[in-house]
Structure 1
Amino acid sequence: MAFKNILIVDDHVEIIQLMTDFLEVENYNIFSAEDAEEAECLLRQVKIDCIILDIMMPGIDGFTFCKKIRKESEVPILFLSAHQTDADKIRGLTLGADDYIVKTASPSEIVARVKAVERRIAVHPQRSIGTQRILSIDQLELNLDTRSVKAAHQEVDLTSIEFNLLHYFMENEGIVLTYEQIIEKIWDDDVTGFHSVRVHVANLREKLASFTSLPEIKTIRSVGYQLHKKARG
């Protein structure tokens, strides 16, 4: 799916204008809002394909707004913030953001990151069409057509990235997948770092942790990850 409409949410008008100038050159339609309330109104009126979201805004902050969006939609979200700490980046990714960009990044880099997310969505669309295809390992079941996951017959709510990661791991059960391979397969860009992969894998593990008899995502130190069945005792 190619992006058409991008929503920029930021209380700094000059940042909105700068980003608009760069993104319009790439033939995106740009919508803007200066706070979460205004953005929410736009989301009800226009089909938005991607959101660039500031964190520190008057009223509802970006983290809270992201959490609210994720209850209803998997629309790609890229945080754009002056905060550069790992804690903020981890929190943003944990809430389901697709990327976290600091405001010191050049507009051209931000455009590149938007395009990177766009390519990933094109490779891993939200829905598939056709006869249902299901991957199953032990009590973990992944439906490729409905993009749904069941663990011990219970639905598990995953973000788009978490689903794609689990799909890749299950397709390659028992094989060690390097960070580089995972980034190339899931993100298909040269801007995503190992840290982002670790955060998303940690989120995926947490959502599956309460279920027993599921395959494990094992960390291979300094290399990547391996999915394998739990040893039966």
Structure 2
Amino acid sequence: MNRTHTILVVDDDKEIVELMRDFLEDEKFAVVDAYNAEQALDAIKSTPVDCILLDVMMPGQNGFELCRQIRRTQDTPILFLSARGEDVDKIRGLSLGGDDYIVKSATPEEVVARIKAVLRRTGKNDRDRDLKLELRFDRLVLDLRAHETKVNGKLVPFTPKEFDILRLFAEYPRQVFTYDQLLQRFWDGIGDKHTVTVHIGRIRDKIELDPKKPQLITNVWGVGYRFDGVRI
């Protein structure tokens, strides 16, 4: 199954959101929209995104404040989109963890080009499922075509759901996934935190040297889990 990159567009101006949706979808991106910080955070919880296009001046929590909040748990690329082009705003945006700062006078084509550049620079393009048929992490190998998992060269049986969960983590190393995100993605939101922890425990039993001291799927306390394997 071909996986396109998902871009979250956050702007209180619906015309800008719709305009960017048109241009991004024309370039084969999937688009999720949000019109304020609260909607953006809800979207991030329910849908893994590869890049965030974030308006600075929004009512309520502004883009800078939202970026600071996102950066507490995630390293998803963030591009600021602002009507203000002053250097002080650019410096502030980049110092908060933004990957780029774009003035709204830029054409939609330029915005799309900058998104592509950030995806290349941050390595997100390496996650295309059709191009990467194997995910290798030292002693752990996921064969995406055969739907098989090997640990230290030995085939380890996984249920389809266990494999899909591990694959998501392996495709997004260092990205934090919350309990709510995992419940929504793999159980349609039905269940609770225990549902997630049981499955993570089973996966750890199969891939960790010491499941009680996990080094691959680690806890981000009070938030969820993160995959700390290093791709080779």
In the other structure, the counterpart of 1:77 is 78
Aligned residues: 132
In the other structure, the counterpart of 1:10 is 11
Query: Cα gap change, 1:3/1:51 in structure 2, threshold over 3 Å: closer, same or farther?
Result: farther
- Contact preservation (8 Å) 2:7, 2:29: yes
Return the offset for 1:90: 0.2
Which AA in structure 1 matches 2:121?
Answer: R
Q: Distance in 2 between matches of 1:124 and 1:6?
A: 13
Return the offset for 1:75: 0.3
Query: Cα gap change, 1:56/1:98 in structure 2, threshold over 3 Å: closer, same or farther?
Result: same
In the other structure, the counterpart of 2:137 is 129
Which AA in structure 1 matches 2:9?
Answer: I
- Contact preservation (8 Å) 1:3, 1:118: no
Q: Distance in 2 between matches of 1:28 and 1:95?
A: 26
Query: Cα gap change, 1:6/1:123 in structure 2, threshold over 3 Å: closer, same or farther?
Result: closer
- Contact preservation (8 Å) 1:3, 1:50: no
Q: Distance in 1 between matches of 2:37 and 2:98?
A: 16
TM-score by length of 2: 0.53
In the other structure, the counterpart of 1:98 is 99
Q: Deviations over 1:197-228 (max 9, x none)?
A: xxxxxxxxxxxxxxxxxxxxxxxxxxxxxxxx
Where in structure 1 are there 5+ consecutive unaligned residues?
132-145, 148-233
Moved more, 55-64 or 114-123: 114-123
- Contact preservation (8 Å) 2:50, 2:124: no
Quote the RMSD (CA, aligned, Å). 2.3
Q: How does 1:52-201 map to 2 (within 5 A)?
A: 52-122=53-123, 129-130=137-138
Residue 51 of structure 1 pairs with residue 59 of structure 2: no
Where in structure 2 are there 5+ consecutive unaligned residues?
128-134, 140-172, 175-232
Q: Distance in 1 between matches of 2:10 and 2:55?
A: 6
In the other structure, the counterpart of 2:25 is 24
Query: Identity across aligned pairs (percent)?
Result: 50
Classify the secondary structure of the residue corresponding to 2:80. Answer: strand
Return the offset for 1:130: 2.5
Q: Distance in 1 between matches of 2:28 and 2:125?
A: 22
Q: Deviations over 1:48-81 (max 9, x none)?
A: 1110000110110000000000000000000000
Which AA in structure 2 matches 1:101?
Answer: I
Q: Deviations over 1:4-46 (max 9, x none)?
A: 1110000000000110100001111101010000111111100
Deviating beyond 3 angstroms after TM superposition, the runs of 4 or more aligned structure 1 residues are 123-128
Q: Deviations over 1:87-134 (max 9, x none)?
A: 000000000111000000000000000010111122897998337xxx
Q: Distance in 1 between matches of 2:72 and 2:136?
A: 21
Q: Distance in 2 between matches of 1:123 and 1:26?
A: 16
TM-score by length of 1: 0.53
Classify the secondary structure of the residue corresponding to 1:18. Answer: helix
Classify the secondary structure of the residue corresponding to 2:122. Answer: helix
- Contact preservation (8 Å) 1:3, 1:49: no
Which AA in structure 2 matches 1:52?
Answer: L
Q: Deviations over 1:175-206 (max 9, x none)?
A: xxxxxxxxxxxxxxxxxxxxxxxxxxxxxxxx
